[in-house]
Structure 1
Amino acid sequence: MELPRLQLSDVGRAEPGLPCPSPPGLNKITVYEQADFQGLCREFMSDVPDLHELDFGDCICSLRVVGQPWVAYTAPKYEGETCAFEEGEYPKVEKSKAFSALRLVHHDLAEPQITLYERPEYGGQSKVVTEETNLAYGYFNDRVCSHVVQRGVWLLYKHPARGGWYHIAWPGERLADYKAQLGFHNCLSHLRPLRPGRPAVTTRLLWEQRQVEEERAVLMDEIVGVNTTDLEQTFSTCSSREYSTTTLHSFRFSNATSLRAGLSFTLAVEAANVFTVEKGRSESSTQRERVEVLLPAKIPPHTELTVHVLRKEVTVSVPVELTIRQNERTTTERGEYRCVSGRAISTKYTMKPAAAPELAQAQPHQPPA
């Protein structure tokens, strides 16, 4: 397989010790000459066949990976021993100060599959594996002699729990005899596929397809003032009040979504209203704010004034189109954004004649003793 050549535009420099901001979906590796992301650093976004040509060979002690995994080699031209690094931060790396080449894993890692065989040349019983597996827990431990990789990139370990030396098996690889080609005869105990990097998710709310599911008025407060005099009276309560309103946002994924737990993205509902969705957690949030309501200042003579403070609650559902970009693959999915908004506050005034006050019975005047 021909590997892409390194372009000058693929090489960047970062401030030592500081992570570089990355746009969503970018695949890159930032390498440092000291542990804990210290010292000189370099940033790469495509394969590097020889780090010595860029004055950074045999000096890497820590690194950060964004997006797809990378494979580091101890010799130029992708030779020597290998170490695979998935998305994340590595304050210290195995084989520090030993890497001479870097290779980006640009393959589709979404649905891995490998077939293992108990005899050379794909003979004997076979076992299809699609996820990380500890063979020591089953009947196929230390019995594998050959394999065929259908999809994904796999790490094959000699010992259980990811122990011992491992071999990197690439998509389409047909390894007919472990003993002759790997010195790995009858000693495979653990295997796992490399995890893809986080995809970039962009969203588009299809407002033209929105549906109003429910609309209702909720009574928040009732204020009553009575004026039984012949003159206009000032309202006995304060001229304004503050009320707390809520907006509940929620998101529902389709049952066939390819997005995994931990992935997050944002929905720009309004210019100043951004809802963050994180797969695997409660895909809902509540916003609260306070609204001031002005009340009437005067009550006419012989009038009872009732003020109802109402909150208008509207439940709306909107289809959302999700565009998912991962490496060179782009897919589209559907989700649903749902909003229960109670931000609209209004007042309703009702006036009716005030009941005449009952006259108190006159008490007979008692002369002083």
Structure 2
Amino acid sequence: MNKIIVYEHVNFQGLCREFTSDVSNLIDHNFNDCISSLKVIGNPWVAFRDVNFCGPQSVFEEGEYARLENHNNDTFSSLQLVTEDLSNPQITLYEHVNYQGRSLVINCETNLCYGSFNDITSSHKVQRGAWVLYEHANQTGSIIVARAHRDVPSYGPFNDLLSYLRPLKPRRPKFSAVLLWDNKQEDVKSVTIDSICGHNATDQRQIFCPELHRTYEVFMTESFNFCNAEEIKNGTKFDVDLSKLKTVYDFPVQETFTVEKGTSNTRTKKKSMQVPLPATVPPHSKITVNVLAKEVEVKIPVNLIITDAFNKTKTTGGEYVCHSKVSVRTMYMEEPI
């Protein structure tokens, strides 16, 4: 869902309105010239000072804007959703009006001060996407929002002022992970992590160990590995239903993952577990305490469903892996000596 939520006061306070389509006149919604903060979900929106999408413009991409001092605070009268496909932008700048003179094709964010086209553009054609054109290289001053197939033959007062431009960003893709439980692989084994011996060759009971217990660290590591590296970006969040694992491990299972390093997400949880030791060793005896831990490795194939700004979906594969060392226990063995 693409929508904008506008608020009467800063920090998302006061009255608010929510819109999912163009608003040509905010007066009709009793919300004219009063917007001081806003939230954008999905594709960008353009806010206009005047009704019917006229006058100076401000652009808001997906995110939260607690204060609008730099965006004509309390002056918006109409709102328009950017509906173009923003995935592969391209714009052609022209030196003179009516698309005359030299031209320059641009496909990415560009500072014209570093080239030979600074402060000479007077018209443009947008082949793909939507762009913000700035008067100054620090992205301030007057702006023009340039959109696909809406050619501008003359900038008028903006002629020969363009110094910086960037394409608008599309809505962040939404991710949902589906675990294929029927194809789960699980390996469970018991491993010895410590062995403690006590010898008593005397006729009296002796203290087995000065410690009453020992402490061991147990852990659980979860990781996601994805087949398509290009689709997963840092900061991506997705939910996973791991409820079927909650009874398997001694750790609480979280169900929201955030990708932190490229294409995979790994997290490890640790905790300490105390194991009691026997107090004494009988006469002429040897006691061996073996400390055992249960190691479990679970691998579950994952279908990661990616939904773009226009609700088109595609699926990439991956794997959820959980490796744990939990359930520490002891085995006692007493032998005569």
Structure 1 residues without counterparts, runs of 5 or longer:
1-25, 355-369
Q: Report if aligned partners of 1:251, 1:277 keep a CA contact under 8 Å in 2.
A: no
Q: What is aligned with 2:324?
A: 341
Deviation at residue 229 of structure 1 after TM alignment? 7.3
Which range moves more in the overlay, 144-153 or 184-193? 144-153
1:31 maps to 2:29: no
The one-letter code of the counterpart of 2:310 is E
1:83 maps to 2:65: no
1:306 maps to 2:278: no
Q: Report if aligned partners of 2:206, 2:282 keep a CA contact under 8 Å in 1.
A: no
Aligned-residue RMSD, C-alpha: 3.3
Structure 2 residues without counterparts, runs of 5 or longer:
247-251
CA separation of 1:186/1:259 partners in 2, compared to 1, >3 Å: closer, same or farther?
farther
1:333 and 1:125 map into 2 onto residues whose CA distance is: 44
2:254 and 2:173 map into 1 onto residues whose CA distance is: 20
Q: Report if aligned partners of 1:111, 1:152 keep a CA contact under 8 Å in 2.
A: yes
The one-letter code of the counterpart of 2:83 is H
Which range moves more in the overlay, 70-79 or 338-347? 338-347
2:290 and 2:103 map into 1 onto residues whose CA distance is: 75
Deviation at residue 351 of structure 1 after TM alignment? 4.2
Deviation at residue 291 of structure 1 after TM alignment? 3.9
What SS is found at the alignment partner of 1:334?
A: strand
1:66-145 pair list within 5 angstroms = 66-86=41-61, 87-93=63-69, 94-122=71-99, 125-145=102-122
Q: Residues 258-312 of structure 1, C-alpha deviation per residue, up to 9 Å, x if partnerless? A: 3433332343433441254333448322111344556678977754221211224
What SS is found at the alignment partner of 2:231?
A: coil
Deviation at residue 156 of structure 1 after TM alignment? 1.0
Deviation at residue 198 of structure 1 after TM alignment? 3.1
CA separation of 1:59/1:142 partners in 2, compared to 1, >3 Å: closer, same or farther?
same
CA separation of 1:91/1:207 partners in 2, compared to 1, >3 Å: closer, same or farther?
same
1:163 maps to 2:140: yes
User: How many equivalent pairs are there?
Assistant: 324
2:64 and 2:298 map into 1 onto residues whose CA distance is: 38
Q: Residues 51-85 of structure 1, C-alpha deviation per residue, up to 9 Å, x if partnerless? A: 11121112222222233222112222222222111
Which range moves more in the overlay, 221-230 or 53-62? 221-230
Q: What is aligned with 1:353?
A: 336
Deviation at residue 153 of structure 1 after TM alignment? 1.5
CA separation of 1:340/1:115 partners in 2, compared to 1, >3 Å: closer, same or farther?
farther
1:92 and 1:100 map into 2 onto residues whose CA distance is: 15
1:188 maps to 2:134: no
Bigger Cα Rg: 1
Deviation at residue 192 of structure 1 after TM alignment? 0.9
What SS is found at the alignment partner of 2:125?
A: strand
Q: What is aligned with 2:249?
A: none
Q: What is aligned with 1:15?
A: none
Q: Residues 9-53 of structure 1, C-alpha deviation per residue, up to 9 Å, x if partnerless? A: xxxxxxxxxxxxxxxxx4332222233433322233332222111
Q: What is aligned with 1:264?
A: 237
Deviation at residue 124 of structure 1 after TM alignment? 5.3
1:53 maps to 2:53: no
2:255 and 2:146 map into 1 onto residues whose CA distance is: 41
The one-letter code of the counterpart of 2:49 is T
Which range moves more in the overlay, 287-296 or 79-88? 287-296
Q: Report if aligned partners of 1:117, 1:125 keep a CA contact under 8 Å in 2.
A: yes
The one-letter code of the counterpart of 2:178 is R
Q: Could you state the TM-score of these two structures normalised by the residue count of structure 1?
A: 0.74
1:225-236 pair list within 5 angstroms = 225-226=198-199, 236=208
Q: Residues 116-150 of structure 1, C-alpha deviation per residue, up to 9 Å, x if partnerless? A: 34455555554332322111112222343443323
The one-letter code of the counterpart of 1:96 is N
The one-letter code of the counterpart of 1:345 is V
% same residue = 41
Corresponding residue to 2:307 among 319, 325, 340: 325
Corresponding residue to 1:204 among 155, 178, 184: 178
Q: Could you state the TM-score of these two structures normalised by the residue count of structure 2?
A: 0.80
The one-letter code of the counterpart of 1:205 is L
Q: Residues 192-237 of structure 1, C-alpha deviation per residue, up to 9 Å, x if partnerless? A: 112223332211123444556x877553322224465789x79846
1:43 maps to 2:18: yes
Which range moves more in the overlay, 344-353 or 319-328? 344-353
Deviation at residue 349 of structure 1 after TM alignment? 4.2
